Amino acid sequence: MDTPAVSFFPNTCISVDRALIDEGEIFHSRNAGAVLDYVESVTDRDAEPDRTRARRVRREVADLTADLMNGAVD
């Protein structure tokens, strides 16, 4: 949802976390100071979610579901 997120998984990152880290979607560190610096750097504007994409995805899912249901009825 485009809001700041932190991962501090202690072992090898799972593939989902690794992909999010690589895409810059989450901040990952096991260093408490680095995590604190990151959290302190987050502004209110950074933490305000952009729901534009979520609304678009919801509409797409609703349309696909309706298509499936209408296809089952026909």
- Tens of pLDDT along the chain (74 residues) come to 567 888 887 788 888 888 988 988 899 998 999 999 999 998 888 777 778 888 999 999 999 999 999 887 76
Residue 52: C-alpha distances to residues 16, 57, 62, 66, 74 (Å): 23, 9, 16, 21, 33
Query: Model-level pTM?
Result: 0.55
Domain boundaries, the chain: 6-73
Rounded-to-10 torsion of CA 53, 58, 64, 70: -150
Would you say 32 and 46 are in contact if contact means Cβ atoms under 8 Å apart?
Answer: no
Would you say 5 and 25 are in contact if contact means Cβ atoms under 8 Å apart?
Answer: yes
